[in-house]
Amino acid sequence: MFTKKELETKIDEALQLPRCLLAVTRFSYLDFREPSGEEEIQIHRGLKREYEGPIHFWATCLQSLEQGESSFLGFRPGSLGPVALSALCRPVDEAELASLTREKLYFLAQPWSLDLGGKVTDAMVMDQSTDELSVLWETDTFYGAFFWDTTA
């Protein structure tokens, strides 16, 4: 998809590009078996043909999170650039991507499985800490991003 260095050199330009449509699936803390865990999940998808590349898709996802009402990635006014640049950009294979997302989806009150949109051609972990996870993937026709956060 891209390296940390490519992200550093292209993120400012990507943040200035027009925002494209995102399909967003949201799960609030009320959708989990234990609402007291204060967990949240958002899954973003976009058609590849609408984006200039994966960095443009990533920037659009971050802008969507920044403008939402969620606590994802600890956004504060003016923090979009630093948050974007803090990404790990750690490549993962489809099996690890599935494992990471399945682990977080497991705690939903209603079973739900993630449709990746086809055969994954590339994937990377963007953030992985005790209270946040974000992964990015691409297929032949889609980009996707998975965000999990807890404030507990």
Q: What is the pTM of this model?
A: 0.92
pLDDT tens, residue by residue, 39-56: 999 999 999 999 999 999
Q: pLDDT tier at 81 (50, 70, 90 boundaries)?
A: low
DSSP 116-137: -SSS-SEEEEEEESSSEEEEEE
Which domain range does residue 107 map to? 4-150
CB neighbours of residue 10 within 10 Å: 18
Split into its structural domains, the chain has a count of 1
